[in-house]
Amino acid sequence: MATIIVDNRSYTVDERKNLLAACLGVGLNLPYFCWHPAMGSVGACRQCAVKQFKDDHDPSGRLVMACMTPASQGTRISIDDPDAKAFRASVIEWLMVNHPHDCPVCDEGGECHLQDMTVMTGHVYRRYRFPKRTHRNQSLGPFIRHEMNRCIQCYRCVRFYRDYAGGRDLNVFGAHDALYFGREQDGTLENEFSGNLVEVCPTGVFTDKTLFQHYTRKWDLQSAQSICSHCSLGCNTTVGERYGIVRRIMNRFNSQVNGYFLCDRGRFGYGYVNSDKRIKRALVRPALDRTKPAQPEGVPQVLEIIGERLRRVRGIIGIGSPRASLEANAALRSLVGPQQFFLGVDEQEHRLLSTILSILRTGPVPSASIHDAEQSDAVFVLGEDLLNNAPRLALALLQSVRQQPMERVDELKIPRWDEAAVCNAVQSRRGPLFMAGHRQTWVHEYATDSYFAAPDDIARLGFAVAGRIGPDAPSVPDLTNDVRDLAQRIADALTRAQQPLIIAGTGSGSQATIEAAANVAWALHQHGKQTRLSFVVPESNSVGLALLGGGRLHDAFDSISQQKADTVIVLENDLYRRAEQAKVDAFLETAQTVIVIDSLEQRTAAHADVLLPAATGPESDGTLVNQEGRAQRFYQVFVPDGDITDSWRWLRDLARAKSPEADGVTGVATWNTFDDAVSATAATASELARIGEVAPPASFRVVGQKVPRQPDRYSGRTSMLSHLTVHEPPPPPDPDTPLGFSMEGYRGPLPSPLISQFWAPGWNSIQAVNKYQDEVGGPLRDEMPGLRLIEPVATKAPCWFTAIPPAFQPTLHQWLFLPLSAVFGGEELSNRSPAIAERISEPFLSLHPSDGARLSLEDQVTIELALQGMTYRLAVHLESSTPMGTAGISLGYDASGVRVPVWVDLFKAIKTGHRRRVA
Amino acid sequence: MSQDPTRITMERPLTQYIHPDGTPRLLREYVTNGGYHSLQKLVTGMAPKDVQRLVGESGLRGRGGGGFPTGSKWSFVPMGPDAQKPKYIVANADEMEPGTFKDRILMEGDPHGLVEGMIMAGYALDAEVGYIFLRGEYHLSAQRLTRAIAEAYAEGYLGKPLPGTTFRFDLHLHSSAGRYICGEETALINALEGKRATPRAKPPYPQTVGLWGQPTIVQNVETLYNLPHIVNHGSAWYHSLSRTQDGGTKIYGVSGRVTRPGWWELPLGTTAREVLEQHAGGMLAGVHFRGVLPGGISTAFMTEEHLDLPMDFSSIPPQVGRLGTGTMIVLDDHTCPVGFVLNLERFFARESCGWCTPCREGLPWVARLLQSFEEGRATNDDLALLDMHTKWLAPGHTFCGLAPGAMAPLQSALQFFHDDFERHIGLGRCPWSNKPAQLRVLV
């Protein structure tokens, strides 16, 4: 630590920081633009100028840029110095030379860093009297609006997009005062993290196009803390709502998980909440007659009908959901009994999840957070397409490859915050990143080595690497020379690293790659390395569901077909995604009563005898466990209309309807509030025992007050319902959380799960997060970053996996079909969001060019393919990265019931279509 | 002056053999006149550190305008077996300073001198690769350097270890895609790497983190030409060439309404009066001297009272200005000083790289203000705004030296020609222009 003197007051700060970060960290206000806590200093905007004095006897001092000056011991500066203040006001005056001052019509208005900084410097009067430059704006696709005239040329957009996130199609063009930040030509921004431009841009150049479509000022948004439900990483988000419409998603800082950035699927995938396909009313078939369509009915009547039926059934089974909260799943489990509770994931996923859980529980190596991944200095990915399955983790890998070159930066005594110098020193040097998989993405450009092969071969590579690292790990015979050399290179790089990370997952459907990954990590652990494992799983609560435990889906099917049960409750799940259509059809047909609780119309819901409208994430409270095993709480943002309510409340009501006698009621029927649900869930499995500690209970108060979801500048409260009533209705009650649906309540320091919007006096933009951190860029004050539920015992001896598969053998007629997921289109809920829907690409089949030649298929031709009883129209992509003898298939959501990996005779399966491109 | 012919030639080591007819000195002639002789010294046992020491002792200072002592610049380059490799020598031949043409004279007339100087610098710093970053418009220099480099490769001066040593030097010519800022050494490095020509943050300096992140010395062309001569004749001889403590000669040039515009290699420390009156022949008839930019447009005006200052890197007091490149532009009484400065500021505004705010936004504002003076629309408030810019666009406030350089002529013009600025306001037109005064709307 170092002592610095700012305006004659001493502060103790971290000497590894720059003066700007140090000043912000101790709560001083100093304006800035080009600096960003995650992207370091480049000294472009000159906004953070302060006066630095050599010593006590230096009367004049000199202006320095705080962001480019180290906070070294004894540094004496002045923020309030008249010269420094005047210079900072001048910088704003220069920036305003060309800024259009269109705040009233600008989407950024009210949360604009440029507004905040302008007010902070005190610049008010325009002296520039000449013409302003104007630009033509570009159409950048469904996510981002572009308004270049507002640009203040801080370069943050290109620094984020290109340098941090690996994008290529956004750049800075021109020179002097005619700079242009955009694409070479109009077109959709390609990078999967483009949405962060909305937050990175200090003003309104890049704004959220989905917000624009139902625009609301930040101060008019009712907001609450959420957890992204569109993949397994559990990024923290802030969801904003007004008039019952979710308006936008912003990043919510969590130092251990997503930090400052989200992926576009997470940011723009919320549209499903506002969908006209939402189920809003409780529906029931009249007299539960299968021949009649389900009709809206009053909730009490529906419950009475169901209760009547439930009391007479032979047996009820419940099918849970990897996208529903722990509490909802636990409620179902309680209602039907643990023996009749089934996980609602397909057979293969069930098996892979069990393997992953057992590796994390019994092996010595802990799972990695995204933050851990960013800090890793060597990474080996086995068979997982991170960019499409867990995008934010792919972004973390782009940071991990910077770790090893940092050794040189340290040797040169360049401070790590000095991004400008770091870039010059590091250049294109990258630390080790090895990627083995069956599909190439642009992230491979960052890889030291890429290996494209079938899952079995990838597993063999992994086992071989493990065998070379740890003498106890089984080794692999009969490797080709190339693979043996590659395994050696990977083993060498991993053993040279300090914090290696091994990543695998369920994405390729291969048990062997998961086991191989575990062997590599364990071998490294034995080698004394601080090793981490990361397993990507399919959905936002896949791990939570697996921790809760339940039967296999085919046993659920069997119990109906074998007439052990006749009634099924399906919780937030479309079974057609989980099994072949014929099986699901038979199952739903045979079951006497099908009760579905879900939020959106879907294929299973269409078969429901009783359909109950479930609240989506932003309409409910719950706990999700991410792929790391981290339990995190999401909060209800607003009160939905119609009959929509939390799934656990529906299940509670079903339980009560089933046994209406008030006494003798047990289990879910006794739950009244969310906290009841949490404590009951905590009691279901030992690993869940502490989930109540994830966030404060509903009884939490500060000075006797709840925490408001609405900002204190929320407008129109007295008038927004005036078309219905001139009386201001009381705010809806919230018995479940310490939050209130109102403006009233406590505003001040809070445990991080309760921060509904980042805001501080003078800091209206998302940059206000600085004011919630003790050390800028570090954890939030009172951060509760979720709770890791699985911590292995580091001293445990690994129980090596020994089932090394034989090498993959292509066959003459059969191709091994492998799944290809898609960041846009590969997830059930975000698919239903209009902005995401625009980015979903057509289904395709990917083949190696030599396989294409064998099948007489040219690139980009359209074929019809018969697969598991269905016919699909697909484009053919010939890609040399597709392993020979395999076929990658990307079918999108509609065909997600297709079971892969599977061997298919393509000579037979390809029905019609042009094998050659039509000229 | 001495009548001894060798003595006379020794007074102009850089240009003595340059053909007056503009044809280049080719390899054979270059070698006959003693060219590549300095490399013999290396072969016969002069170690890199000896060369470094010699250059340090010679008092050689960078001729690009900064005047930084070459010896101390080199001392920051990591040496020895643990030093990062490769290391690079870059010749800054991006001579885009308006009014400056000294490097062109050297490269067109004597291209091998640059090649030899770069090999010498490479040897001294144990650097194996050199780049000549040449101004894009210097087509003739490009042709002649290309030929000289090919000749040097053919003769084994480049691309092979020097006889008896393990030192081998490779040299590449890179013609710039343009922009004034490429003359700034770190912007030059970025441009050479194929990036935007934006200056880099310093520290680290190129000596440790330069081209491709490697140790790099960027040196002006004229500086490099001096090296073989220093190695051949020693530091005492080199000191004796100059009139002041800075060693060697300087190519001075004069443009403007003088009798004989041109260039002359003269002892460093020659006064401006001597250059202007003896060599350039004084002002044209009927034209009077008002001021001079001593070395490119980012130096401050010097007026009559400063003309007897020795023109070197240490004799001009900082409050007066600096030598810069030594190629002078003369302002006369037939030229409007405001228009003169407007022309400069327009250039600077256009050549700003756009990286930092004060330069990117301030310079176009300054240019527009000066334009309004010329149009007779300026007010006293505009004078205050010009003053504000000269105050804030100062070294350290901006990312690099471009904007402070742009303020040097403006600030000195506001000081020396203040009356002329006020006359523009008072008359409502440029006093040097025939156009009628502007109608002014008072708000």
Contact call for residues A568 and A595 (beta carbons, < 8 A): yes
DSSP letters of A604-631?
Answer: TGGG-SEEEEB--GGGS-EEEE-TTSEE
User: Taking CB atoms and an 8 Å limit, are A130 and B368 in contact across chains?
Assistant: yes
How far, in Å, are A120, A664, A825, A844, A861 from residue A821 at the CA level? Answer: 47, 48, 8, 11, 20
Rounded average pLDDT over A37-65: 95
Q: Which pTM does this prediction carry?
A: 0.96
User: Taking CB atoms and an 8 Å limit, are B361 and A97 in contact across chains?
Assistant: yes
How far, in Å, are B70, B232, B242, B272, B383 from residue B58 at the CA level? Answer: 9, 12, 11, 24, 46
Structure tokens at A49: 């100028």
Contact call for residues A4 and A71 (beta carbons, < 8 A): yes
Q: Please give the distance of CA A119 from its chain centroid, rounded to a whole number.
A: 34
What is the per-residue pLDDT for A794?
85
Q: Which residue from B minimizes the CA distance to A428?
A: B212
Q: How far apart are CA B156 and CA B24, in angstroms?
A: 21
Report the greatest alpha carbon distance in chain A. 93
What is the per-residue pLDDT for B435?
72
B443 falls in which pLDDT band (50, 70, 90)?
very low
Burial class (CB in 10 A: 0-12, 13-18, 19+), A484: middle
Which of B212, B361, B388 has its CB closest to that of A177?
Answer: B361
DSSP letters of A506-559?
Answer: STT--HHHHHHHHHHHHHHHHTT---EEEEE-SSTTHHHHHHH--B-HHHHHHH
Burial class (CB in 10 A: 0-12, 13-18, 19+), A198: buried
Q: Of A887-891, B41-45, B78-82, B315-319, which gets the smallest average pLDDT?
A: B41-45
User: Taking CB atoms and an 8 Å limit, are B353 and A175 in contact across chains?
Assistant: yes
What is the per-residue pLDDT for A663?
60
CATH topology of domain A351-537: Dimethylsulfoxide Reductase; domain 2 (3.40.228)
Q: Which residue from A minimizes the CA distance to B349?
A: A176
Burial class (CB in 10 A: 0-12, 13-18, 19+), A137: middle
- The contacts found for B433-442 with CB under 8 angstroms, 24 or more apart, are B433/B336, B433/B374, B435/B376, B437/B376, B438/B375, B438/B376, B438/B377, B440/B376, B440/B377
Q: Which residue from B minimizes the CA distance to A86?
A: B392
- Collect all residues from A whose CB is shorter than 8 A from any CB in B: 42-47, 49, 62-64, 68, 87, 90-91, 94-95, 97-98, 127-128, 130, 152-153, 155, 172, 174-179, 412, 414, 418, 420-421, 424-427, 429
Q: Which residues of B fall within a CB distance of 8 Å from A84?
A: none
Rounded average pLDDT over A274-290: 95
Q: Which residue from A minimizes the CA distance to B189?
A: A424
What is the per-residue pLDDT for A896?
61
Predicted confidence (pLDDT) at residue B255 exceeds the cutoff of 70: yes
Min CA distance, B295 vs chain A (Å)? 24
Rounded average pLDDT over A750-773: 94
User: Taking CB atoms and an 8 Å limit, are B357 and A421 in contact across chains?
Assistant: no
pLDDT in tens, A538-574: 999 999 999 999 999 999 999 999 999 999 999 999 9
Does domain A814-913 sit in CATH 2.30.30.40?
no
CA A11, A15, A20, A21 torsion-angle sign: negative
User: Taking CB atoms and an 8 Å limit, are A418 and B392 in contact across chains?
Assistant: no
User: Taking CB atoms and an 8 Å limit, are B357 and A97 in contact across chains?
Assistant: no
Chains A, B: CB contacts within 8 A come to 104
Contact call for residues B133 and B56 (beta carbons, < 8 A): no
pLDDT in tens, B117-171: 999 999 999 999 999 999 999 999 999 999 999 999 999 999 999 988 899 999 9
B389 falls in which pLDDT band (50, 70, 90)?
very high
Residue percentage of chain B with pLDDT more than 90: 90
Q: Which residues of A fall within a CB distance of 8 Å from B184?
A: none
Min CA distance, B282 vs chain A (Å)? 38
In order of start, what are the domains of chain B with their CATH numbers?
5-241 (3.40.50.11540), 249-332 (3.10.20.600), 337-427 (1.20.1440.230)
What is the per-residue pLDDT for A867?
87
User: Taking CB atoms and an 8 Å limit, are B354 and A94 in contact across chains?
Assistant: no
Does domain A276-342+563-618+637-680 sit in CATH 3.40.50.740?
yes
What is the per-residue pLDDT for A128?
97
pLDDT in tens, A697-720: 999 999 999 999 999 999 988 888
Residue entry with tokens 């293969």: A348
Q: Which residues of A fall within a CB distance of 8 Å from B356?
A: 43-46
Q: How far apart are CA A183 and CA A146, in angstroms?
A: 10
Which of A44, A412, A429 has its CB closest to that of B204?
Answer: A412
Cα dihedral A347, A352, A353, A357 in deg (nearest 10): 140
User: Taking CB atoms and an 8 Å limit, are A95 and B355 in contact across chains?
Assistant: no
Q: What is the mean pLDDT of chain A?
A: 95
Q: Which residue from B minimizes the CA distance to A96?
A: B361
Which of B201, B208, B397 has its CB closest to that of A418?
Answer: B201
pLDDT in tens, A164-198: 999 999 999 999 999 999 999 999 999 999 999 99
pLDDT in tens, A140-160: 999 999 999 999 999 999 999
Rg from Cα positions in chain A = 28
What is the per-residue pLDDT for A917?
61
Q: How far apart are CA B25 and CA B28, in angstroms?
A: 8
What is the per-residue pLDDT for B41?
86
Helix A455-469 to helix A511-526 angle, to the nearest 10 degrees? Answer: 10
Q: Which residues of B fall within a CB distance of 8 Å from A130?
A: 365, 368
CATH topology of domain A2-95: Ubiquitin-like (UB roll) (3.10.20)
Rounded average pLDDT over B379-384: 96
User: Taking CB atoms and an 8 Å limit, are B200 and A175 in contact across chains?
Assistant: no
Q: Which residues of A fall within a CB distance of 8 Å from B350?
A: 176
Structure tokens at A376: 């890793």
Predicted confidence (pLDDT) at residue A899 exceeds the cutoff of 90: no
Which of A46, A172, A175 has its CB closest to that of B356?
Answer: A46
Q: Which residues of A fall within a CB distance of 8 Å from B362?
A: 94
Rounded average pLDDT over A60-89: 97
Q: Which residues of A fall within a CB distance of 8 Å from B388?
A: 90
Helix (H) or strand (E) holding B387: helix B380-392
Q: How far apart are CA A884 and CA A118, in angstroms?
A: 59
B4 falls in which pLDDT band (50, 70, 90)?
very low
Query: What strands, in cross-sheet order, belong to the sheet with A62-65?
Result: A9-13, A2-6, A76-78, A49-53, A62-65
Q: Which residues of B fall within a CB distance of 8 Å from A414?
A: 203-204, 209
What is the per-residue pLDDT for B2?
36
Which of A127, A174, A420 has its CB closest to that of B200?
Answer: A420
Which of B209, B213, B399 has its CB closest to that of A43?
Answer: B399
Predicted confidence (pLDDT) at residue A644 exceeds the cutoff of 50: yes
DSSP for residue A876: E
User: Taking CB atoms and an 8 Å limit, are A424 and B357 in contact across chains?
Assistant: no
Cα dihedral A551, A556, A562, A566 in deg (nearest 10): 120
Which of B356, B385, B392 has its CB closest to that of A87?
Answer: B392
User: Taking CB atoms and an 8 Å limit, are B204 and A177 in contact across chains?
Assistant: no
pLDDT in tens, A433-475: 999 999 999 999 999 999 999 999 999 999 999 999 998 999 9
Helix (H) or strand (E) holding A694: none
Beta-bridge partners for A305 = none
Domain boundaries, chain A: 2-95, 134-274, 276-342+563-618+637-680, 351-537, 814-913
Q: Which residue from A minimizes the CA distance to B369?
A: A130
User: Taking CB atoms and an 8 Å limit, are A176 and B352 in contact across chains?
Assistant: yes
Ramachandran bin of B441, using left for φ above 0, alpha for ψ from -120 to 50, beta for the remaining angles: beta
Structure tokens at A435: 């990627």
Residue count (chain B): 443
ipTM of the complex: 0.94
- Collect all residues from B whose CB is shorter than 8 A from any CB in A: 179, 196, 200-201, 203-204, 208-209, 212-213, 349-358, 360-365, 368, 381, 385, 388, 392, 394, 396-399
Predicted confidence (pLDDT) at residue B438 exceeds the cutoff of 80: no
What is the per-residue pLDDT for B5?
39
What is the per-residue pLDDT for A918?
53
Q: Which residues of A fall within a CB distance of 8 Å from B199?
A: none
User: Taking CB atoms and an 8 Å limit, are B351 and A176 in contact across chains?
Assistant: yes
User: Taking CB atoms and an 8 Å limit, are B353 and A176 in contact across chains?
Assistant: yes
Q: Which residues of A fall within a CB distance of 8 Å from B361?
A: 94-95, 97-98, 177
Which of B203, B213, B356 has its CB closest to that of A44?
Answer: B356
Q: Of A778-787, A908-917, B38-47, B52-61, which gets the smallest average pLDDT?
A: A908-917
